[in-house]
Amino acid sequence: MIRKTKAGTKRAESVSVKLFWQEYMRGEMTLEKWQWAGLLMLLVVFAGFFGWVYEYIFYYFDGGTGEFYMQGGNFLPWINIYAIGAVLIIASCWKIRKYPWAVFLLSVVVTGLLEFVGGWLVYTIGNGTRYWDYNTEIWNFGNIGGFVCLRSVLVFGFSALFLMYVVVPFIIWLSGKMSKRAFLSLAVSLFILVLADEIYNLLASKFFGWPDAMEFYRSLGWKYL
């Protein structure tokens, strides 16, 4: 009979994590459909929250305001364009993940295009509406029309590295540690939560005339930019 010691268990876990990381970085890892589904849903949730935190902190310093402003248009701390960006990053960078420099450069291009096209479309269709305007912000070097600037895409590029080499591997690892049912239940529950919030504020509140998140938080005295 072989008895497993704590030290032996830790060494085995260390080897297991090392092999997992090597397989991920070599591009040899393949995921089942249910893992992909859970991964994408959790990325949408995480990336939207990450973007909210980034903007919440950045705009505290922007222009020397020294005040915190609520960001996004949802009840939850979540911003949709960051979620879209995360999905585009993993879609475009998954097969080249063994090359971090390529992930960084491609992510800069992909997120820059997303930000420029998204900002331009909102401005054009909305008759001058802007959800962000780099013309009025600090560190706006490389600014193009207020829709995109070098600082923003560099932040997105470094964030993509964090996404591809920390967040994505962790979620995949989590899918292997949890049962299929538990993992998908977690992913689906969180995804439905943010999706319902988004649908309410984008569609239902406007169609039925119900108060949206911005109206609600402003009624509580919260400040928006």
The amino acid present at 122, given as its one-letter code, is V
The 10s digit of each residue's pLDDT in 74-104 is: 999 999 999 999 999 999 999 999 999 999 9
Of 88, 104, 85, the C-alpha closest to 96 is: 104
Q: Which residues of the chain have pLDDT under 50?
A: 1-5, 7-9, 12
DSSP string spanning 49-79? HHHHHHHHHHHHHGGG--S--B-SSSSSS--
Q: What is the model's pLDDT at position 65?
A: 62
pTM: 0.88
Q: What is the model's pLDDT at position 18?
A: 82
Give the span between the Cα atoms of 126 and 130, in whole angstroms.
Answer: 8
Of 29, 24, 34, the C-alpha closest to 187 is: 34
